Amino acid sequence: MATPLHIVLMGAPGAGKSTQARLLKARYPLQVLSTGQLLREEAARQTALGLLAEAYLARGALLPDEVMVALITERLLRLPPEQGFLLDGFPRTLPQAEALQQLSEKLQRPLTAVIALALSEQEAVRRLGGRRMCEGLGDPFPVHIEDRASVDACLRLGGRLVQRPDDQPEVILERLRTYEAETRPLLEFYEQRGLLFRISAEGSPEQVHQAIVAVLEARLRPQA
Ligand code: AMP
pLDDT digits (tens, 9 = 90+) for 50-105: 999 999 999 999 999 999 999 999 999 999 989 999 999 999 999 999 999 999 99
Portion of the chain with pLDDT greater than 70, in percent:
99
Active-site residue flag, 160: no
* pLDDT confidence tier of residue 221, bands split at 50, 70 and 90: confident
Atom of ligand 1 nearest to the CA of 166: 10
Domain 6-127+172-220 CATH (choose: 3.40.630.30, 3.40.366.10, 3.40.50.300, 3.40.190.10): 3.40.50.300
Kindly provide the b/e burial profile for residues 56-65, where b requires at least 16 CB atoms within 10 angstroms of the residue's own CB.
bbeebebbeb
Ligand 1: residues whose CB is within 6 Å?
A: 13, 35-36, 39, 56-57, 60-63, 68, 89-90, 92, 96, 166, 175
How much is the average pLDDT of 109-114? 96
Q: Is the pLDDT of residue 222 over 90?
A: no
157 DSSP assignment: T
Q: Is the pLDDT of residue 109 over 90?
A: yes
Atom of ligand 1 nearest to the CA of 175: 10
DSSP characters for 67-92? HHHHHHHHHHHTS-TT-EEEEES---
Amino acid at 96: Q
pLDDT value of position 1: 61
Q: Is the pLDDT of residue 198 over 90?
A: yes
Q: Are 137 and 161 a contacting pair, CB within 8 Å?
A: no
* pLDDT confidence tier of residue 179, bands split at 50, 70 and 90: very high
Return the closest-CA partner of residue 56 out of 77, 72, 35, 75: 35
- Angle CA 222–223–224, to nearest 5: 115
Q: How far is the CA of 89 from the centre of ligand 1 (A)?
A: 6
pLDDT value of position 167: 93
* pLDDT confidence tier of residue 4, bands split at 50, 70 and 90: very high
pLDDT value of position 50: 97
63 DSSP assignment: P
pLDDT value of position 223: 64
How far is residue 160's CA from residue 151's CA, in Å, rounded to a whole number? 9
Q: Of the residues 40, 127, 132, 175, which is catalytic?
A: 175
- The HSE-up count of residue 27 (CA atoms within 13 Å, CB side) is 15
Average pLDDT, the chain: 94
Return the closest-CA partner of residue 172 out of 140, 109, 137, 130: 130
Amino acid at 136: G
How much is the average pLDDT of 199-207? 94
Sequence spans of domains, the chain: 6-127+172-220
Q: How far is the CA of 224 from the centre of ligand 1 (A)?
A: 39
User: To test ligand 1's pocket by mutation, which of 10, 19, 33, 35 has the most ligand atoms within 8 angstroms of CB?
Assistant: 35
Q: Which residue's CA is the nearest one to ligand 1's atom 10?
A: 60
pLDDT value of position 3: 84
For 112-148, the pLDDT digits (tens) are 999 999 999 899 999 999 999 999 999 899 999 999 9
Q: How many helices (H) and strands (E) does the chain have?
A: 10, 8
pLDDT value of position 224: 52
Q: Of the residues 22, 40, 92, 132, which is catalytic?
A: 92
Active-site residue flag, 131: yes
pTM: 0.92
Q: Are 208 and 200 a contacting pair, CB within 8 Å?
A: yes
